[in-house]
Amino acid sequence: MHETPRGGRLHIALFGRRNAGKSSLINALTGQELAIVSPVAGTTTDPVYKAMEILPIGPVMFIDTAGLDDEGELGEKRVAKSLAVLAKADLVLLVVDPQQNPGEVERTLIEAAGQRQLPVVGVLNKIDLLPETAAVNFPLPDIPWVKVSARTGRGISQLKQTMVQLAPKDWTAPTIAGDLVPPGELALLVVPIDLAAPKGRLILPQVQTIRDMLDHDCLTMVVKERELKAAFNSLQKPPALVITDSQAFLKVDADTPPGVPLTSFSILFARYKGDLATLVAGAVAVEDLQPGDRVLIAEACTHHRVADDIGTVKIPRWLRQIVGGELQFEWSSGIELPAHLEQYRLIVHCGACMTNRREMLSRIMTAQAAGVPMVNYGVLIAYVHGILRRALAPFPDVLALLDENEVI
């Protein structure tokens, strides 16, 4: 197994007094029951690293620390060990039980994190035990607070959104495709060269994928679609994975033996920059669209639109054809999604090539909070071309979404 680069797996350090509910907060965030949760104060002693998955944030590393108010000589050592964890964290959750009267120990932690310019989210836990109208006002440095109940799940979505918003800007997913190709095995990349290809270069997602393969000790072959058969013939055994540009998918699908996993750069980057399951669920939701429904086409940046622009021409045409009637399209561009998302039946997001994972996830969660399905260009293109099923074969959990919804 490979050590995931820290830049990939978001490292979240949990701090708080004994019995503030750190371990049960982990369970609430991950939907699992793995941490030892016990009402006896001080269950967690040395910092414990837990590689887990938070939907839709992706793979994270929780660093669960001893109680900040741990007592005695052993307790002091534990607190020092806990604070040392800040060097390894991308983000801090400071868990507070309002009945514990937060003060000096919390201030110490906030200031230590501040010296490292580490973002801290204040998590006001156990709000199910408080009166609805209770005011929360602590004599602490100003940090964002989220009220949650780890027990009932209240506020957990809002907490996830805040965590994503405060995550480091350069945070990425752990890998583009390195988890799909064993070390020493080969990924075959199909890269059409058309007029849109930059002169003398490759486009960035292709370069990033080659680098990701190198970082995972894999072999990479790069060919045009016309040389794909020659590529298969040059190899002793079939590649572990074929990755193609979406525009060549049909030809590559035909030329790739059925047993060889095949996906597209768009699918890989939908996962890398966002959450593949959410975006595929958005494609599934296309099947429920009715004539007259409002659809938002959201682009993260303003770009020069060409005649046959994907966002203004192609996607509306495809969706009209699928629905068999007119739809009400609206377009947005820029950093923020428009207000009142709930008026839309579907959001179609751009490929986010100029956007980082943090921003894309933040938008996905905003759409989720409004109860609106979101798909992106890459996943929608795969869907309308009838290639989504094969392109999802390397991701059985996500593929199951199609089966559940009887999507071809």
By CB under 8 A, name the binding residues for its own copies: 7, 172, 184, 186, 191, 193, 197, 199-202, 204, 207-208, 210-215, 217-224, 226-227, 230-231, 233-237
Shortest Å, Cβ 398 to its own copies: 24
Please, which residue, 241 or 319, has the CB nearer to its own copies?
A: 241
Q: Which amino acid does the sequence have at 129?
A: L
For residues 120 and 101, what is the distance between their CA atoms, to the nearest angstrom? 19
Contact 283, 273 (CB under 8 A): no
Please, which residue, 53 or 227, has the CB nearer to its own copies?
A: 227
For residues 82 and 79, what is the distance between their CA atoms, to the nearest angstrom? 5
Query: Two tokens at 298?
Result: 């959201």
For residues 53 and 56, what is the distance between their CA atoms, to the nearest angstrom? 8
Shortest Å, Cβ 164 to its own copies: 20
Shortest Å, Cβ 226 to its own copies: 7
Longest dimension (CA), the chain: 73
What are 375's strand-pairing partners?
Answer: 348
Shortest Å, Cβ 220 to its own copies: 5
Strands (E), 272-402: 294-299, 328-333, 346-349, 374-376
Please, which residue, 218 or 387, has the CB nearer to its own copies?
A: 218
Shortest Å, Cβ 228 to its own copies: 10
Shortest Å, Cβ 254 to its own copies: 19
Shortest Å, Cβ 217 to its own copies: 6
Query: Two tokens at 48?
Result: 């414990």
Rg (CA), the chain: 24
- The candidate with the shortest Cα–Cα distance to 28, out of 48, 5, 54, is 54
Please, which residue, 67 or 351, has the CB nearer to its own copies?
A: 351
Please, which residue, 203 or 322, has the CB nearer to its own copies?
A: 203
Contact 377, 310 (CB under 8 A): yes
Please, which residue, 115 or 236, has the CB nearer to its own copies?
A: 236
Please, which residue, 221 or 241, has the CB nearer to its own copies?
A: 221
- The candidate with the shortest Cα–Cα distance to 330, out of 353, 352, 375, 299, is 299
For residues 4 and 94, what is the distance between their CA atoms, to the nearest angstrom? 25
